[in-house]
Amino acid sequence: MFCNAMTIHEELTLYKGSHIMVVMNKYPYINGHLLVAPIRHIASLDQLDKNGMGCLLSMVERSIDILRQAMKPDGFNVGLNLGKVAGAGVAEHLHFHIVPRWFGDTNALTVFADVRVIPEHLQATFDNLKPFFDRLEKTD
């Protein structure tokens, strides 16, 4: 998925640098659910060199800052799932999830009916976030 994001999922790509990209999750848990991934197709952290690790974590930090400015969440869930058994939907391509959280945003429908209710259309969230990512200096 991530390797082809600029061609297949261009409408979800917020940022693409030399080594790192940020895309919106096509099936978000909540508005603003972002995925930060190396462009290079790798499955585990040990495949990154120190520079690659720094670029990846720097973009996670920058993405959180943008979400804070644009969406004003009360907190975040940030993490990665390594391997299919750990819940990785795209196990062969390492990626961090950044999920903004607001007080009272728990969605019981996901638990009971595998349904997600997102209060804002994906395109509206994209349109809100894209100008912030466009202003980022390409440092990776």
Residue 79 within any structural domain of the chain: yes
CB atoms within 10 A of CB 84: 11
Residue 29 to residue 41: CA distance in whole angstroms: 24
At residue 43, the pLDDT reads 86
Residues 19-48 have pLDDT tens digits of 999 999 888 888 999 999 999 888 888 999
Of all residues in the chain, what percent carry a pLDDT higher than 70?
A: 79
Q: Give me the catalytic one of 41, 95, 97, 121.
A: 95
What is the extent of the structural domain holding 70?
Answer: 2-134
Domain tally for the chain?
1
Residue 140 within any structural domain of the chain: no
Length of the chain: 140
Taking residues 122-134, report their average pLDDT.
91
* CB contact set of 6 (below 8 Å; sequence gap of 6+): 13, 16, 21
Residue 122 belongs to a domain with what CATH number?
Answer: 3.30.428.10
Residue 13 within any structural domain of the chain: yes
Strand boundaries in the chain, DSSP class E: 13-16, 20-24, 34-38, 75-79, 96-101
Residues 43-87 have pLDDT tens digits of 888 999 999 999 999 999 999 999 999 999 999 999 998 877 777
Cα of 40 vs its chain's centroid, Å: 16
- Identify whether the C-beta of residue 87 lies closer than 8 Å to the C-beta of residue 81: yes
- Establish whether 9 is a catalytic residue: no
- Identify whether the C-beta of residue 44 lies closer than 8 Å to the C-beta of residue 82: yes
Residue 17 to residue 58: CA distance in whole angstroms: 12
* CB contact set of 28 (below 8 Å; sequence gap of 6+): 99, 116, 118, 122
pTM beyond 0.85? no
